[in-house]
Amino acid sequence: MKQIENTKEKNRICENEINMPFGQKSKDSGREQEKIQQADENFFSRLRHALGPLVPGFFIDLVDLITFGPTGLFLGLFLGAGAGYMIVSKTDLTFKQKMAGAAIAGTYCTMPFTGFLPVGTLIAAWARFHEKPDHK
């Protein structure tokens, strides 16, 4: 609902700018531009909040898809473990926990018949769904 109001506000600002003589700006132009910028920042921060945790799971699923078939039996462990370690290295886990995460990702990418199952993305979505909301 708030996004609809922001869109209406943007349309109103654009109509005001069109009706102004060439080169002249309305008095509220600065404030209105700030409102537009805030609405855009709000949208992207909400998008990052919603999709940000899904990207690592999607990345593991992509590596799993690349290592489909006989290639996965040989390269899946190494590529999956490397991708998994890259992802968990961004967290504040201990070294042992990072290695465990990398081993799990490598094992997942090595297992046959998982290439078309988006398990990594589903786990990330499940974790995000069960996360406690941050009420301000």
- Fill in the amino acid letter for 11: N
Q: How far apart are CA 113 and CA 25, in angstroms?
A: 62
What pLDDT shows up at residue 82?
Answer: 92
**What integer is the mean pLDDT of 101-119?**
86
Is the CB of residue 109 less than 8 Å from the CB of residue 64? yes
What CA–CA distance (Å, rounded) separates 59 from 79? 11
Sign of CA dihedral 112, 115, 118, 124: positive
More confident residue, 28 or 125: 125
- Between 54 and 16, name the one with better pLDDT: 54
25-82 pLDDT per residue, tens: 555 566 666 666 666 677 777 777 777 778 888 888 899 888 888 878 888 899 999 9
Q: How far apart, in whole angstroms, are the C-alpha atoms of residue 29 and residue 21?
A: 14
**Where are the domains positioned within the chain?**
2-50, 54-129
What pLDDT is attached to residue 27? 54
